[in-house]
Amino acid sequence: MSLALAVALPFLAALLLFALPNRARNLTATVAGAATLLTLALLAVNLPAVLAGQVVSIDWAWLPFAGADFGFRADGLALVFALLVAAIGALVILYARYYLAVEDPIARFYAFFLTFMGAMLGLVLAGNLLLLAVFWELTSLASFLLIGYWQHRADARQGARMALLVTGAGGLCLLGGVLLLGSMAGSFDLDVVLASGAQIRAHPAYLPMLVLVLLGAFTKSAQFPLHFWLPHAMAAPTPVSAYLHSATMVKAGVFLLARLHPAIAGTDAWFYLVTGTGLATLLVGAWTAVWQHDLKGLLAWSTISHLGLITLLLGLDTPLASVAAVFHILNHATFKASLFMAAGIIDHECGTRDMRRINGLWKYMPVTTVLAIVAAAAMAGVPLLNGFLSKEMFFAETLQISSHPFMRLAVPIIATLAAGFSVAYSVRFIHDVFWNGKPHDLPRNPHEPPFWMMVPAGLLALLCLLVGVLPSTTVGALLAVAAGPVVGGPLPEYSLAIWHGLNLPLLMSALALAAGAAFYFSLQRIDRLHEHVHLPRGAKEVFDALLGAVLGGARFFTLKVVNGHLHRYLTFAVLATFVAVGLPWLGRGGFVPDVDAALPAPLAIVLWLLGCSGALGALVWHRQRFVATLFVGLTGLVVSLVFALLSAPDVALTQLLVEVASVLLAMLSLHFLPKLSPPEPGFARRAADAAIAGITGCGIGALAYAVLVRPPDASIAPWFLANAIPGAAGQNAVNVIIVDFRGLDTLGEVAVLGIAALLVALLLAQVTGAQAPSRRTADGGGGGDDSGAPATGDPRPLMLETVGPVLLPLAAVLAIWFFIRGHNDPGGGFIGGLTLALGMLVPFIGRGIDWVESRVRLQLQRWIGVGLAFATLSGIASFVVGHPFLTSHYFEGELPLLGKSSLASAMFFDLGVFVAVAGATLLALTTIGRMERR
């Protein structure tokens, strides 16, 4: 439990920090520091158990069907890493309090920082591969925020974006690798995965999995050639760099390699990929670091080089190399954090990080000088400091390669060479900054920083010294317990001593120290190092070119496709549908001949002729809009008759009513639109459209035919038929499906209709009378004329005016009758609602909208709301009797006048539908009419 709390605490503190004001510098630092120390304590509680060899874990089911548990797990490696993350985090928080300027939003800084720390802790403590991948992405996101903290600086924004793209892409690779890995091991649980190494290595998909996981690890730990984002990430505030480069972010990459080592290492592919990458990174990083004039640039490239060293060690794949790797992870974290803090102090006090300008600083800041010397000497691998010990082990291991002839020779030589460069840049860091003449043209007067700014760097430097002098007493136990899970078996024999006698590794160390120092001084004296401008080229240019190509491609595609012309979108949509429907047909057999070869009934032929002539009429006379509308209406009526003939009375009634409403609506809107469509120029385009329409029509027709001549597949329909009466007490199976079995769908559909009606009202409500074109001059740029029958000034239709008062009650009765019988006979809420709406429309047409509205306030918007609320409430009522939403209940009894009825609770639902549909339909119809009045 303490593990879960330790991960959660930084996130909670981050939330709190977001709420704090930026001017409360001490308060925010205290909150952040206290949260981190508490986290550290929560982690340390588990230390005794872990030191005793136990694995502490806690698990909650998260997505059981996907094999993803939400659980944390602390073995030696995870706990030591987590302690490192929290401890260095605490020191950086203290340091940042003094580093950040007054104008920097400090609360935001700490909030981002703690988010990042929480993500990193979750990553190292995750007990499940999927959870690990989630936290992995979270570290990428949080580091993006931290690197881009100085939002006003372009280099910060670009560096943050680059880091996010590279590590985010790596994270996607890792996710793929993790999914493969989990399927190979049969579980995403880390314990299972770590125990199934043999099974994983023997799996045919081992190599793709390995490459994906390594891509994830290498992008994160800035391995060559994916290293280029790290130097750009130093645009972050220096405390962030100190953290990213020491205990977190880049270390997440090598942590992953160490974590999965027992499961995926141990093959030639692993050896060549990991060792080779590490070797290249080690050399490129060390060489480039020597030439950096920027203090942080030197340190950034040195980080790349040291991560290459750790990767190389893990690639060597011997137990002792794994121990050395873990040891160097810890050592590098201490001295690199300390060095970045020193660099930050220098930057802070001098106003620049350019080593060509800051020289001779030891006179101005002697304490900082001492701290920096200790840490830099540890980085160079000078005896009596921690860096020496792990580097010694590293040299010894490079000499142990036995089976790969080329690597056997190359690795020790390149390792010594890179160590020499490492000494050279370390010496440069000391000599160039603190000696080598006098400072010139500094923006500020250098002096010692505030005391508390030196404390974190001092503590870390002290640690370097302590570990270097008394290795086995200080870190012996921690190292053993942390290295155990990486080795994956019994620990090898090793002794953490300074003196192992005169041997080859010691000779390599001595050679590197001497040659490295000589190399630096000769560069400085003879070659005039300060005049060299060595800008590493290649990777970043490729990255920028790729990014540019992607963005340019997207822009080109977008401009070509989304060009603002509906015609093009619809063409794409139609063609895409055609292709999607047509593709599965390729390679299929031909048509089965019509099963009922008998001639269709004469009535069917008549209907076919009528319906098709309606569609063709609309096509031919489409420019004369009234005529076209009537033709479309004719087709709609035929469609409703087709439904009636083909055993669908409910559908037929609905279609009929909707048809009437649609035609009325179209007629009403024609008052505000040109009555004529202007002739379209371009025969070619119309012909192309005709081709698209023709081929699509043929395709859909053929598809429909192919379905109709085949016997139906097994369907869920029989269930609805069989359960309509026993389950819902309704004889009308269609209505039962709508109001009962699929009631939730219906609720959604009625809501859509209500929203549509409200949208119509909103769209047209804001139009004022002045804006609305007069009906008599309803001719804009469209080129139409007013050949349609003008309505204004017409006497009100006598028939409607006379019949209206009689028709309305009749329509209302009919609507209610439709509604009540709906459960057993054709009818129901939809049909009833539509009938009522159309009946109520009669007085609007007969008497005019003013006449109606002066007598009754309808407030149709409320009808929609009330109807929906009623339908929803009737569904919620099921909860009261302990059933799921919208479960139906019913009772039977005698109703006056209507005879024996079975009253189902679904009827209340249907009543909601009835009211909402009536309101929505009438609202849509009357809104356009209302416009005329203004």
Q: Which residues 611-650 are close enough to bind other proteins by CB under 8 A?
A: 611-612, 615-616, 618-619, 622, 625, 628-629, 632, 635-636, 639, 642-643, 645-650
Least distance in angstroms from the C-beta of 576 to other proteins: 13
Q: Whose Cβ is closer to other proteins: residue 361's or residue 753's?
A: 753
Least distance in angstroms from the C-beta of 593 to other proteins: 10
Residues 773-812 close enough to bind other proteins by CB under 8 A: 773, 780-782
Residue from 137, 354, 448, 825 binding other proteins (CB under 8 A):
825
Q: Whose Cβ is closer to other proteins: residue 403's or residue 771's?
A: 771
Contacts of 501 (CB under 8 A, 6+ apart): none
Residue from 115, 334, 655, 905 binding other proteins (CB under 8 A):
655
Q: Whose Cβ is closer to other proteins: residue 587's or residue 711's?
A: 711
56-63/890-895 β-pairing: unpaired
Nearest residue to 685 (alpha-carbon basis) of 796, 605, 565: 565
Residue from 824, 872, 901, 902 binding other proteins (CB under 8 A):
824
Least distance in angstroms from the C-beta of 672 to other proteins: 5
Single out the segment in contact with other proteins by CB under 8 A; choices: 51-59, 537-545, 664-672, 869-877. 664-672
Least distance in angstroms from the C-beta of 615 to other proteins: 4
Q: At what angle do helices 405-434 and 295-316 cross, to 10 degrees?
A: 160
Residues 320, 324, 326: CA angle, nearest 5 degrees: 115
CB neighbours of residue 395 within 10 Å: 24
Q: Whose Cβ is closer to other proteins: residue 450's or residue 600's?
A: 600
Residues 237, 243, 248: CA angle, nearest 5 degrees: 135
Contact 110, 359 (CB under 8 A): no
Q: How far apart are CA 491 and CA 493, in angstroms?
A: 7
DSSP state string for 621-670: TTTBHHHHHHHHHHHHHHHHHHHHHTT-HHHHHHHHHHHHHHHHHHHHHG
**Residue 102 has what DSSP assignment?**
T
Q: Does 352 bind other proteins (CB under 8 A)?
A: no
Residues 595-614 close enough to bind other proteins by CB under 8 A: 595-596, 600, 604-605, 608, 611-612
Residue from 920, 922, 926, 929 binding other proteins (CB under 8 A):
920
Least distance in angstroms from the C-beta of 587 to other proteins: 22
Mapping DSSP to helix (H, G, I), strand (E, B) and coil, where does residue 904 land?
A: strand
Residue recorded with tokens 């982690």: 43
Cite the DSSP H helix spans in 351-404. Answer: 366-380, 386-398
Contacts of 833 (CB under 8 A, 6+ apart): 815, 819, 913, 914, 915, 916, 917, 918, 921
Contact 934, 768 (CB under 8 A): yes
Q: Whose Cβ is closer to other proteins: residue 486's or residue 868's?
A: 868
Q: Does 661 bind other proteins (CB under 8 A)?
A: yes
Least distance in angstroms from the C-beta of 659 to other proteins: 9
Residues 547-576 close enough to bind other proteins by CB under 8 A: 564-567, 570-571, 574
Least distance in angstroms from the C-beta of 703 to other proteins: 8
Q: How far apart are CA 457 and CA 336, in angstroms?
A: 10
Least distance in angstroms from the C-beta of 658 to other proteins: 5
Nearest residue to 44 (alpha-carbon basis) of 17, 84, 101, 90: 84
Residues 719-778 close enough to bind other proteins by CB under 8 A: 720-722, 724-725, 731-734, 736-738, 742, 745-746, 749, 752-753, 755-757, 759-760, 763-764, 767, 771-773
Q: Whose Cβ is closer to other proteins: residue 415's or residue 628's?
A: 628
Contacts of 907 (CB under 8 A, 6+ apart): 739, 823
Residue from 594, 785, 850, 892 binding other proteins (CB under 8 A):
594
Q: How far apart are CA 118 and CA 744, in angstroms?
A: 42
Q: Does 491 bind other proteins (CB under 8 A)?
A: no
Least distance in angstroms from the C-beta of 788 to other proteins: 12
Single out the segment in contact with other proteins by CB under 8 A; choices: 317-325, 485-493, 588-596, 883-891. 588-596
CB neighbours of residue 672 within 10 Å: 17
Least distance in angstroms from the C-beta of 785 to other proteins: 14
Least distance in angstroms from the C-beta of 820 to other proteins: 15
Residues 62-121 close enough to bind other proteins by CB under 8 A: none
Phi-psi region of 42 (alpha: psi -120 to 50; beta: other; left: phi over 0): alpha
Q: How far apart are CA 870 and CA 89, in angstroms?
A: 57
CB neighbours of residue 776 within 10 Å: 11
DSSP state string for 706-722: HHHTSPPPP-SHHHHHH
Q: How far apart are CA 311 and CA 285, in angstroms?
A: 13
Contact 864, 916 (CB under 8 A): yes
Least distance in angstroms from the C-beta of 877 to other proteins: 23
Q: How far apart are CA 631 and CA 640, in angstroms?
A: 14
Q: For the window 258-277, what string marks contact with other proteins as x by the rule CB under 8 A?
A: --------------------
What length does the chain have?
A: 934
Least distance in angstroms from the C-beta of 906 to other proteins: 13
Q: How far apart are CA 334 and CA 304, in angstroms?
A: 16
Least distance in angstroms from the C-beta of 533 to other proteins: 54
Q: How far apart are CA 129 and CA 193, in angstroms?
A: 9
Least distance in angstroms from the C-beta of 631 to other proteins: 9
Contact 139, 31 (CB under 8 A): no
Least distance in angstroms from the C-beta of 221 to other proteins: 52
Least distance in angstroms from the C-beta of 725 to other proteins: 6
Q: Whose Cβ is closer to other proteins: residue 182's or residue 614's?
A: 614
Residue count, binding to other proteins (CB under 8 A): 119
Q: Whose Cβ is closer to other proteins: residue 484's or residue 826's?
A: 826
Exposure of 552 in the CB half-sphere (CA atoms within 13 A): 6
Residues 665-704 close enough to bind other proteins by CB under 8 A: 665-666, 669-670, 672-674, 677-678, 680, 689-690, 692-694, 696-704
Least distance in angstroms from the C-beta of 601 to other proteins: 8
Nearest residue to 757 (alpha-carbon basis) of 645, 918, 877: 918
CB neighbours of residue 731 within 10 Å: 13
Exposure of 846 in the CB half-sphere (CA atoms within 13 A): 17
Contact 840, 659 (CB under 8 A): no
Token pair of 73 as six digits: 């797990």
Q: Does 917 bind other proteins (CB under 8 A)?
A: yes
Contact 114, 36 (CB under 8 A): yes
Q: Whose Cβ is closer to other proteins: residue 542's or residue 755's?
A: 755
Q: Whose Cβ is closer to other proteins: residue 49's or residue 744's?
A: 744
Q: Does 844 bind other proteins (CB under 8 A)?
A: no
Q: Whose Cβ is closer to other proteins: residue 347's or residue 650's?
A: 650
